[in-house]
Amino acid sequence: MSKAGKKIKHEAELLNEAIRLGVIYAEKRGVAKFEANDSKDTKIEYIYRLLVHDKQIQPLAKEDLVLLKMKHKLAMWLHRQLPDNHPLK
Does 24 map to a domain? yes
Does 15 map to a domain? yes
| Parent domain of 74 | 9-81
Averaged confidence pLDDT in the chain: 93
Judge whether residue 3 has pLDDT over 80. Answer: no
Does 39 map to a domain? yes
Amino acid in the structure at residue 72 = H
For the chain, the domain total comes to: 1
Does 28 map to a domain? yes
46 with 31: CB under 8 angstroms? no
What is the sign, positive or negative, of the torsion defined by CA atoms of 67, 73, 83, 29?
negative
Does 1 map to a domain? no
Tens-place pLDDT, residues 36-56: 999 999 999 999 999 999 999
Domain CATH code at residue 56:
1.20.120.1930
Q: How long is the chain?
A: 89
